[in-house]
Structures are given as C-alpha cells and as structure tokens.
Chain A
Amino acid sequence: MTVDTKDAAARPSTRRDAPGGARTSTGIKRRFNAKTALTLLAFLAPAAIFVGIFTYYPMISGSQMAFRNWNLNDLSDTSWVGFGNFQSLFDAPEFWGIVRNTVIWVVGSLIPQVVIGFAVALFLKRRFRMRGAYQAMIFFPWAVSGFLIGMLFRWMFNAEFGVVNDLLMKAGLIDSPIPWLAEPGFAMTAIIIANIWYGVTFFAIMILAALQSVSDEMYEAAALDGAGKVRTFFNITLPSIATTLALTILLRVIWIFNFPDIIFAMTGGGPADQTHIITTYMIKITQEGDYGKASALGLIVVVTLMLFAAFYLMAVRPGKAQR
C-alpha cells in the first residue's frame, strides 16, 4: 500500500485542543495506486448505483415533463412548450403568496427550533438523575411520521372537539373556540407549532452531541479567567459548535422546505391557499393532473435550494476557521 499517512495520527487529536473548529483540513492529500483506486471505485459503486437508478434517473426523467405540456387529464398532446410551464406558474395570482408562505414556514419553524433545541441541549449537557429517560422522552417526536403528526395536531386543533381550544378555554385565555384550521393566520400558526414540536428534537440531539465534544478544560480555563456565563457561552460554547450548528441549520432548512407532510395532513394548504408552501402546492398541482407544471415547480425547488446551499456555505465557511 502506498497510502501516505504522515499526519494521519495527528488529526483526531487536533480538534479537542483547538476550539473554534480549527481542525486541520479534512482532506489529506494522498496518492494511491490503480488497485486502490479500483477498490475505492468498487466501494462507491453500490451507493452510486442505488442513488443513480432510484433517485437521479426518475428525477431527470421526470424533469423533462417540466418543459412539456404534460397533463394527465389529456395526454393526447404532450408537445414541448419550453418555459411555458414556468411562465404560467409565475403568472398564477397565488404564486407569490405561496412563496411568502414558504418563507414564513421555514423561518417561523426554524428559529424556535434552534432556540428551544439549543436551550434543551444546554440543560441536558450536565448529568442529572433520569437524564437518560428524559432524553428518550424528549427525543421521541423525531420518531413520528410527518403524516401522523399532521393528523394528530389536526385532531388536537379541531375547533369543536380539540383539546387545544378546551385547554385555552379552561385557562380563561379565550371565551369561544378558535376555528384554528379555518382562519389563515391561525392555520399558519397551528402548522408551525406542529412543525416546531417535531423539529426541536433534531436540533437538541445534534447540538447536545456537539456540546459534549467540547472539552471541560476549556470551560475551566474560562472560569479561571473569570469569564461569566454569558461570556463563556459566546466565547467558547458557540464557536466550538459553530460548524455543527451551521450544517444542522442547512440540512433543516432543506428538509423543512421540502416537508409537505404535516401541512398536507393538517390543512391541505387551505383555507384559500393560505397555508400552501411550494411543495404542498406542487402536490395540489399533481392532483389536478398537471404534471408538467408540477415538475417545473419541482425544478424550481431544487435550483432554489442549491443556490441557497451554495451561498449559505460560502457565507458560513470563512467564519468557521475563526470563532
């Protein structure tokens, strides 16, 4: 084997000593011979085959519909229409409202998820009795499917027989039941609450894991310097987990953007399209049978997210090496 390993052993240890994620670069330049190269290829092959056949092929094959008149209600004319489908999407009066909803949905779900998730992780960092059991309970929303969460919250937010209204009335906060899923503002609030319930867990797990990899010595050193809690948090805790936090946020933005399940089960995008986000709107269009327009919308989603990821990573990268 001709793999060059001169600094390999030094790598893992660097990260504990250097806060702020100042790890040595991940990719170590290595040279390898043809046999190793073949092995590597063979290692990558199964993943590439599966993802190629079952994800990329259908996606690419499906995306050609975006440029054709492809309506399941009448497939007798499936001619190419160029960007016609995109045009009619942009021209639809509800489109920009749906874009706005998508932003509200993503930001409105993300920020509370990060904040609450962070707080939970901070509190869970220290051992206490029953911490294991507590973790298991608080992590469990992640195990529930989006569809089920949607149905569950639809039931709890039911205007007449829902427990939410009942509790609010008992607490004296409201006099008459709120028709949660029937009024635009309330409906948006309700779906975001459901999504927060679901998503806090993921942040809590990820941030907790990152926190636990920050060494105690650093906190002790900070304490010796007389740094207060707030300063310690901003000078040590936050920089140490910045990378994990940044990437977790990126992944979650992508997922939340692409997560029609809860909304679809709770409101179906209603009332009056006021809770449609781009991906639920896409389902609505496929149900109408217009696969051309739906595929065009799908492509818009992919491109938007790719651009977002690229800019986001560029913006986050430089800060990564410092604190």
Chain B
Amino acid sequence: MKSRFITSAAVGLAAALALAGCGSAAPSANGQVTLKMVESLTNPTRTDTIEKLIDGFEKENPNIKVELISPPTDQADQKIQQMLQSGKGIDVVEARDITVGSFGANKWLYDMSADLTGWDGWSNLTDNAVKYSKQDGKTYYIPYGFYGLSLFYRTDVVKDAGFSAPPASWSDMLEQATAMNKPTENKFGYAFRGGANANSNAVAIIEAYVADEIDKENAFKLTSGKTIFSSPKAQEAMDLYIELFKKGSPPSSVAWGYPEMVQGFTNGSTSFLLQDPEVIATVKESKSINAEQWNVAPLLVGPTGKAIQPVASAGWGIAESSKAKPEAVKLIKYLAQGDAATTFTKENSLVPILKSAADDSFYSSGPWAAYVTMTENPDTYVSAVQPRGVSWWTEWIKKSDGELQRVLTGQMSTTELLAGWDSYWSQKMAG
C-alpha cells in the first residue's frame, strides 16, 4: 500500500511537472498562430474595447488568434516584467513611455523599424504619434493615444461662488478653491494629488512657472542647462502649490492617487480636478453629477501666461522573445489604423493618434473643446518632452512622491524638497 501510494504520488508529481501548459506562440500544424497580448492600464471597459478590436482583427486574419491577458493594473507592470524576463508566453505588450526605457535597455522589446519601413500607415499618424514611434531611431512601440492634462471643473459651483469663469492660472485656482473649501460640509476646492504619482502635478506647476526658459526637448531642464528645480520660480510655484493644498483641498488628499482624485470629483466633493482626458468617460458615468454640472478647461498657466503640456503616451510593442513577430506586427498595424485606432481613442477618451481626428466633430465639442483650444494655441500651451523614458524614472516617481508627502505632512520644507530634486536630476543628467 505505501509503496503504491508513494509511486503514484511521484508519478503524479512528475506528470504534473511535465504537463505542458502555455508555450509562447508558435505556428501550429494547421498554420494557426496564437498571439498573447498583455495589457497594463487595465480597466473593465477598456478590456471590453480591446476584445472588440481583437474580434475585428481575427475576422480579417482567420489564421491568427489573439489571447488578451488583463492583469489587475496595480500588479500589471510587475507581472509584465516577469513575463518578459522569462521570455515565454508574451508576444504583444502594452508599453508605456515610462516602462519602454527599461524594457528596451534589457532587450526585452523588439525593434519594429525594419518591419515598418514603407508602411503606408505612417502618413495617417499625427506628427506626435510618428515622433513617439521613432524615438532614438528605434520603434519599440506605436502609441495608441496620448495623455495630457486639462482642468475638469464644476460649472455650477464656480458660478455659485460668484466667479464668471473657471480658473485659467494657478493663482486663480488658489483663489477659487479657497473660496469653495467648506470642510465641515465635505465640500472642497481642488482634488489635490498627494498619493501615487503626486510628483506629476507638482512638476506641472513648476514647469508652468519656468515656461519661458524651459528646454522643450527635456522639460526637466532649463535652456541654461540647469534643472527646472533650481529656478527661484520653482520655489514660488511650490509655495503656492502647498498653500493650495492647505487652503483649498481636502486634508485626506495627502493620500490621494488617481482613483481617489477622480472619485473626489465624480462624487461631488471636490470642484476642480487636473487630469487626463481618459477621465471624461468616467465623469460622464457619474451618478452624483450630471452633464450640466461640469466641463473641461485648458491646463492652468503660470505667471508666464504659459503652461507646459507634459505629453504622456503608451502603446503596443512586441516582445523580443516572441516567435510570431510578423503576426504581432500585423496586429499592431491594425490597431494603429482606421476604425480600430479611432474606436480605441474615443472609447477611452484619449488624445487621438490619427490626423483625421482633426475633422471629427467628436473632438471639437463638449469636454473635448478644451483640447482643441490647447492644440490651437501651441504658444500658450507649449508641449515639451519629459524624460519619462529614462531607466530611473520609476525610482524618481517613488522618491519624489514620498518626499512630496513629507512636505505635505510638515516634515520637510519646499526649499529642501527642491534642493533635493535639483541635485538628483543634476546628477542623473550629468550621466
């Protein structure tokens, strides 16, 4: 009895270990290819959209099957790293400007340049989309859309507080938010970002203050070659920013990341929200505020009268280890063109990658009007490239977020904060 038990246990274990689970895509006997596609910024509605696009692609390419893998977004990038490192079970991957640097450095991503030379799709893409597809002469990914900041505001609250228009500058914002802040009634002015990625909005205000001397190719640098954090104007910006937190924002926003900020706005407790266009769809679904109660205004400007639009992008790339690169390229081309690209950017409310969107009435009306205003006034809303692709970007995010929270909780001064950021970036940029 015992030997039989042990033998069978051993056999079972061996069999289990030998069980072939998932291999990466390789053409099977009948010429059918399965692509594994992994998304990172997962949310249920977006997953549905991608599934829909995949269906369309599979109809056009009956011999290719696409399996979408949708990990919870908080754990996604870590999982993607594991997958890419193991070199198995991943063909098409969602690469973000902030991950593409390290993925590329580790040779995890495939350079599609050769496959895409002479591709007729290039001419349909906006200049920005082409620029981001060909960074440093390599095509690691093709963007599916762009993110950029604009100001979501409550039309009714602004009016009731006696203001004729939403804030256009950061100092307007301080004034209006302070006027609307009523903590005892659970009503607040500005949905401050103090939690995850808090650095992004802090940098946005600093950039608006130093806009006149900023290096457009590296938005963390001044034309003088020093970092933006070294400027005395950065000090002014941060002091106003902290005042905005103290006088016009919910105290709990020290811990607010993306979801809390958006929820603060959609559930009606805050009146202003600086966010990506992505949020439009979410706000439209809100049960607490209706369509007449909100709108979108352009990004806030600094005393310079200008704002720097920190363009962020993400898109689809191919794993270097993929054994089905031609098919993967096909899928990526499909997603970057025509209806597929338009559907994706519309349903996720992203800044589009196709030139044809300029003629689309969808983008010139309602909440999207602010984006048109911004693109039509490039001298006021200057777009500049942040060094988001550097391999230390995640380190920077974690570091700067933690330090900003230290300032918010009174453990650090804004001067110390800026000095620290200045020396960090001076060192990194020196090499």
Contacts and interface: CB of A to CB of B under 8 A. Distances in A.
A and B touch in the complex (CB under 8 A): yes
B155 to A, nearest CB: 22
A73 B398 contact: no
B139 to A, nearest CB: 20
A271 interface: yes
B409 interface: yes
Nearest to A159: B252
Contacts of B269: 160
B9 interface: yes
B411 interface: yes
Interface stretch (A42-50, A232-240, A249-257, A308-316): A42-50
B69 interface: no
Contacts of A267: 255
Contacts of B267: 160-161
A182 B85 contact: no
Interface stretch (B33-41, B171-179, B388-396): B388-396
Contacts of B81: 72, 289
Interface string A9-25: 00000000000000000
A181 B250 CA distance: 12
Interface residues of B, number: 39
Contact of A182 (B101, B255, B391, B392): B255
Nearest to B105: A74
A160 B101 CA distance: 39
Contact of B394 (A45, A160, A270, A288): A288
Given A42-B6, A182-B194, A268-B196, A75 B106 contact: yes
Contact of B251 (A72, A75, A182, A288): A182
A195 B398 CA distance: 26
Contact of A272 (B2, B85, B105, B406): B406
Contacts of A274: 409
A5 interface: no
A74 B6 contact: no
A284 interface: yes
Interface string B98-113: 0001100110000000
Given A72-B85, A76-B105, A181-B255, A42 B250 contact: no
Contacts of B253: 182
A182 B402 CA distance: 13
Interface in B80-135: 81, 85, 101-102, 105-106
Interface residues on A, range: 35 or more
A177 interface: yes
A270 B404 CA distance: 11
A160 B250 CA distance: 9
B392 A73 contact: yes
A39 B403 CA distance: 60
A98 to B, nearest CB: 11
A319 interface: no
Interface in A166-210: 175-177, 179-184, 187
Interface string B226-260: 00000000000000000000000011111100000
A73 B397 CA distance: 13
B310 interface: no
B227 to A, nearest CB: 21
Interface in A129-182: 158-161, 175-177, 179-182
B391 A271 contact: no
Interface string B45-78: 0000000000000000000000000000000011
Contacts of B78: 286-287
Contacts of B405: 270-273
B106 A72 contact: yes
Contact of B252 (A42, A160, A175): A160
B277 interface: no
B195 interface: yes
Contact of A49 (B2, B13, B85, B183): B13
A49 B17 CA distance: 13
B194 A45 contact: no
Contacts of B224: none
B72 to A, nearest CB: 11
Interface string A285-297: 0111110000000
A33 to B, nearest CB: 16
B361 interface: no
Nearest to A276: B402
B427 interface: no
B391 A74 contact: yes
Contacts of A49: 13
Contacts of B297: none
A271 B264 CA distance: 18
B255 A289 contact: no
A94 interface: yes
Contacts of B77: 287
A71 B252 CA distance: 34
Contacts of A183: 251, 254, 409
Q: Which 9 A-B pairs have the closest CB atoms?
A: A159-B252, A182-B254, A272-B405, A179-B252, A73-B102, A179-B251, A73-B391, A272-B406, A182-B252
Interface of B: 2, 6, 9, 13, 77-78, 81, 85, 101-102, 105-106, 183-184, 186, 194-196, 250-255, 264, 267, 269, 391-392, 394-395, 398, 402-403, 405-406, 408-409, 411
13 contacts: A72-B81, A74-B105, A75-B106, A158-B252, A159-B252, A160-B250, A160-B267, A179-B252, A180-B252, A271-B195, A272-B402, A272-B411, A273-B402
Given A72-B85, A181-B252, 20 more contacts: A46-B6, A73-B101, A76-B106, A160-B252, A177-B252, A181-B255, A182-B194, A182-B253, A182-B255, A182-B409, A270-B254, A270-B255, A271-B194, A271-B254, A271-B255, A272-B402, A272-B403, A272-B406, A274-B409, A288-B394
